[in-house]
Amino acid sequence: MVNVVIDTNVIISSIFWEKGNPHSVIKLAIRQKVSNFTSPEMLSELSKVLRENFGQPEHFVESQVSLVAKYSRLAKPNRKVNVIKEDPKDDMVLECAASCKVNYIITGDNHLLKLKKFENIAIVTPREILDLI
């Protein structure tokens, strides 16, 4: 099983755009073709983005967060990192990935993508992971 951390931006894209690579990545996680790890901080960010950036009602936010929690393994990162200077909140993705020793971080975030790798964890786009699996 390939272990991954799917970044919030990929999850958001999957929710609102059902035709595309992000949605295909989420389907892999739902069907347990990949094992996704997330953290309480990442789930909180998902709630906040759905509520504040997309104006979604509370019942929708709760159902989406619940779905992500259902197909993911919840991790409590055991250390802090300070790597992404341009957007420090992106560090939570690296913290989750490093704590769980995943194979890939799947993201559309340029701050993360330009790293290419973090502690032997490849940082890839949804398209790249679909090509690999």
Are 4 and 71 in contact, with CB atoms under 8 Å apart?
A: no
Query: Between residues 85 and 46, which one has the greater pLDDT?
Result: 46
Quick one: CA dihedral 91, 99, 105, 23, positive or negative? negative
Q: What is the mean pLDDT of residues 79-105?
A: 92
On the question of pLDDT at 92 being above 90, the answer is yes
pLDDT, tens digit, 9 for 90 and up, residues 23-44: 999 999 999 999 999 999 999 9
Q: How is the chain split into domains, by residue range?
A: 2-132
CATH code for 2-132? 3.40.50.1010
Q: State the Cα–Cα distance between residues 36 and 26, nearest whole angstrom.
A: 9
| pTM of the model as a whole | 0.95
* In the chain, % of residues over pLDDT 70: 100
pLDDT-derived band at 124, boundaries 50, 70, 90 = very high
